[in-house]
Amino acid sequence: MNDGYSVGIVGATGAVGKELIRLLYERNFPIGNLRLLASARSKGKTITYEDHSFDVEEATPESFDDLDIALLSAGSGITKALAPEAARRGCVVVDNSSAFRMDEEVPLIIPEINPEAAKAHKGIIANPNCSTIVALMALYPMHKAFGLKRFFASTYQAVSGTGADAIVELDNQVKALVNDQPVEKEVYPHQIAFNVLPHVDVFLEDGYTKEEMKMLNEGRKIMGLPDLKVSCTCVRVPVYRAHCVSIQAEFEQPVEVAAARDAVSNFPGSELCDDVDNLQYPMPIDYSEKVNCGVGRIRKDSALENGLSLWVSGDQLWKGAALNAIQIAELLHERGWVSIKA
């Protein structure tokens, strides 16, 4: 008798893939069989996690023949090629890339916000953009309390959001600079160590970046607010892990700070970290490898009508990627929206 799902991780050698392996085991996801897949470059490599050892396979359409669930974190290009092949073979895909997020046929899910939308999946479910997830974990409870009208956001995005190579680049640049050596750069167009780059993803004609537009488009889709207005500036900072977002939000109804704090405290997946008298506010070093996103600095905004200013920090490798993807798989399992192949 099969006692669990046959699960595959595509992109298992990457920054998100590593966290997917760890969290699947830590959260006791019902795995019958786990297979790790990546590009042809990684074929034959061995990955170990605690007492489990895996030979990495090259991901091909046939890889999905025997899989029930595939967690993809391999980038948009390969996802566009492989995810439909997986779905055709009866494997449910939860994808971390942007490939299918705005596809009308594909649910875009944060389980604490729109779990019911996952039911309509046709074999592919998308995990939202990491900064968008972190921002919405703070904004959605406030939206439920006061009705969100529009918001302005500036992100402070960790380098691990770019992938495993960017972590190495920051590390090498810091070492080079403290040893008075020349800085080498490959991942980012400018030095990232001891610097900030007001540039995440590619620039569009209107001057925004693609990443900035995700906050608007994905925010609208997830919260079901087609008229929501968002203006966002995405910034890369020399932090290894956990994104932060500064938000100024305007609501339909009058706001109260105490009610906003209550809304956050009562929302699963978010926690209040807001005690300025004791210098307590959410910081990346405290919200790395944490399930919850931290919300603080909540105050009435001095420039907006019915406005709140706030700050949120969350581990983009976890809630922004691997954890949210596994929570989607858990949701599918709990609701019976995925099945084990005979």
Ligand X SMILES: NC(=O)c1ccc[n+]([C@@H]2O[C@H](COP(=O)([O-])OP(=O)(O)OC[C@H]3O[C@@H](n4cnc5c(N)ncnc54)[C@H](OP(=O)(O)O)[C@@H]3O)[C@@H](O)[C@H]2O)c1
Q: Catalytic amino acids?
A: 130, 243
C-beta closer to ligand X: residue 14 or 115: 14
DSSP 208-267: -BHHHHHHHHHHHHHHT-TT-EEEEE--B-S-SS-EEEEEEEEESS---HHHHHHHHHTS
| Minimal distance, residue 194 CB to ligand X, in Å | 22
HSE-CB for 17 with a 13 A CA cutoff: 25
Query: 31-60 b/e with 16+ CB inside 10 Å = b?
Result: beebbbbbbeebeeeebeeeeeebebbebe
Q: Among residues 14 and 123, whose Cβ is nearest to ligand X?
A: 14
Report CA Rg, the chain.
Answer: 20
What is the spatial distance between Cα 325 and Cα 313, in angstroms, rounded to a whole number? Answer: 19
Question: Using the rule CB under 6 A, which residue among 130, 142, 223, 242 binds ligand X?
Answer: 130
Q: Which of 6, 8, 35, 42 binds ligand X (CB under 6 A)?
A: 42
- Binding residues among 293-332 for ligand X as defined by CB under 6 A: 316-317, 320-321
Among 7, 59, 247, 272, binds ligand X (CB under 6 A): 59
**To the nearest whole angstrom, how small is the minimum distance from the Cβ of residue 213 to ligand X?**
15
Give residue for tokens 């001057």.
207
The residue among 96 and 173 lying less far from ligand X, judged by its C-beta, is: 96
Q: What is the distance in angstroms between the CA of the first residue and the CA of the last residue of the chain?
A: 10
Whole-number Å distance between alpha carbons of 58 and 68: 18
DSSP string, 98-110: STTTT-TTS-B--
CB of 51 to ligand X, least distance (A): 22
Strands 307-314 and 293-300: antiparallel
Should residue 80 be labelled a site residue for ligand X when binding is judged by CB under 6 A?
Answer: no
Q: Does 78 bind ligand X (CB under 6 A)?
A: yes
Window of 33-41, 105-113, 203-211, 253-261 that interacts with ligand X by CB under 6 A: 33-41
Residue span binding ligand X (CB under 6 A) among the ranges 14-22, 83-91, 249-257, 330-338? 14-22
Based on the shown chain and the rule CB under 6 A, indicate whether residue 131 belongs to the binding site for ligand X.
no
Helix (H, G, I), strand (E, B) or coil at 18: helix
Using CB under 6 A, which of 6, 97, 155, 173 touches ligand X?
Answer: 97
The answer to whether 96 contacts ligand X (rule: CB under 6 A) is yes
Residue 16 vs 298, nearer CB to ligand X = 16
The torsion angles phi and psi of 340, rounded to 5 degrees, stand at: -90, 130
Select from 25, 54, 66, 75 the one that contacts ligand X (CB under 6 A).
75
Least distance (Å) between residue 2 CB and ligand X: 26
Identify the residue among 8, 14, 111, 141 touching ligand X (CB under 6 A). Answer: 14
Q: How far apart are CA 54 and CA 264, in angstroms?
A: 40
Q: Which of 36, 47, 74, 110 binds ligand X (CB under 6 A)?
A: 74
Which of 22, 25, 39, 280 binds ligand X (CB under 6 A)? It is 39
Residues in region 148-207 near ligand X by CB under 6 A? 160-161, 163-165
Q: Which residues pair with 248 in a beta bridge?
A: 152, 309
| 333 close to 71: Cβ distance less than 8 angstroms | no
Q: Which residues of 237-269 are buried (b: 16+ CB within 10 A; e: fewer)?
A: bbbebbbbbbbbbbbeeebeeeebbebbeebeb
Q: Under the rule (CB under 6 A), what is the footprint of ligand X? A: 10-17, 38-39, 41-42, 59, 73-76, 78, 96-97, 130, 160-161, 163-165, 316-317, 320-321
